[in-house]
Structure 1
Amino acid sequence: MEIKEGMEVATLAGGCFWCTEAVFLELKGVKSVVSGYTGGKTVNPTYKEICGGETGHAEAIQITFDPREISFGELLEVFFATHDPTTLNRQGNDVGTQYRSEIFYHNDEQRRISEDYIDLMAKENTFGKPIVTKISAASKFYEAEDYHQNYYNDNTSQGYCSYVITPKIEKLKKLYADKLKS
């Protein structure tokens, strides 16, 4: 993937990529969000293979953002506010290693910011339980099939979207109105 000058990339896994993609598409400074798979061993995995839990990949999003408009730290703030980083290999009813919480850093600064942010939340006992979010070096990111891209915006009336994603979007609007595109 070619990154335009001045832009940066963040790769985050916080459960179902339909949920995380929908949240991050709303933020000022985010130029694109791609749903996909990363952190596993299978080359060119399919959604069906990922769902089986045998590939080692996580459902993840790759965010291209303008750091002059939104920082990596601000992306992490939204990431931790919109998923449960205390449940191992699970987000709600989505269970399996493909739904793990993980930050895939692209450089030493992202690694340091991620470690510091998690250390601060642990020290402050932000969630009342230990944070299980892993921090790993970014690896090959495989773009998910076309029908997964922009899934929430294309399927807002679908049951999963209504019951799982819409509340996350409402929380985002309540907590981060100043960071939203519109």
Structure 2
Amino acid sequence: MENTMSVATFGAGCFWCVEAVFDQLKGVSSVKSGYSGGHIKNPAYREVCSGRTGHAEVIQITYDPNVISYAELLQVLFATHNPTTLNRQGADVGTQYRSAIFYHDEEQKRLAELAIEAGNQSGVWEDPIVTEVTAFSEFYPAEDYHTDYFELNGDQPYCRAVIRPKVDKFKVQFAELLKSN
């Protein structure tokens, strides 16, 4: 087997929530929170939160496709956020919280489009999926205090109320894809 790592970049609301999920998948070697899809270089969190930079809060995943496939990553993505709400996830509202897939090659684009089509036909959601599928251009890492936020701040009210239930549901739904501890 080849020892080649691949990269995926997803936006699915607050990156603290998304990182907490994808960090637990087998085959994933790193998950970095950051910003992508905007029009300014090296944005800061405060700027992105203003909604004026065009950036989405994203995670960039480095993974081993011999262990976990891009299609499986997409399956987790669509199961762990609401892809039918435009520019919002729960109480988080703004273009920075949009559902987005920033594809790194044509195969990722094809798989993303197939996943959206299958999701729309599945009947899981009442409304159509609004996830944007855009060519990846730049990733700007978030400030250090965003890294491993849930792991380091699990007792914070936001973590207990929003992230913990999402992670718990994910662990049950995707038990076969979890890293063994």
Structure 2: which 5+ runs fail to align?
A: none
Structure 1: which 5+ runs fail to align?
A: none
Give every structure 1 segment of 4 or more consecutive aligned residues whose post-TM-superposition deviation is greater than 3 Å: none
Percent pairwise identity: 58
The count of corresponding residues between Structure 1 and Structure 2 is 178
Counterpart in the other structure of 1:107: 105
Q: Secondary structure at the match of 1:119?
A: helix
Tell me the CA shift for residue 120 of structure 1: 1.1
The 5 A counterparts of 1:119-134 are 119-134=117-132
Counterpart in the other structure of 2:44: 46
Counterpart in the other structure of 1:14: 12
Q: Secondary structure at the match of 2:81?
A: coil
Distance 1:59 1:157 in 2: 22
Corresponding letter in the other structure for 2:25: L
CA-to-aligned-CA distance 1:151-180 (integer Å, 9 cap, x gap):
000000001000000011101111011110
Task: Please point out which of 66, 69, 93 is paired with 1:68.
Answer: 66
Distance 1:74 1:33 in 2: 16
Task: Please point out which of 52, 57, 60 is paired with 1:59.
Answer: 57
Corresponding letter in the other structure for 1:132: V
Distance 1:134 1:168 in 2: 22
Is residue 156 from structure 1 mapped to residue 154 from structure 2 by the alignment?
A: yes
CA-to-aligned-CA distance 1:103-153 (integer Å, 9 cap, x gap):
000000000000011111112222121101010000110000000011000
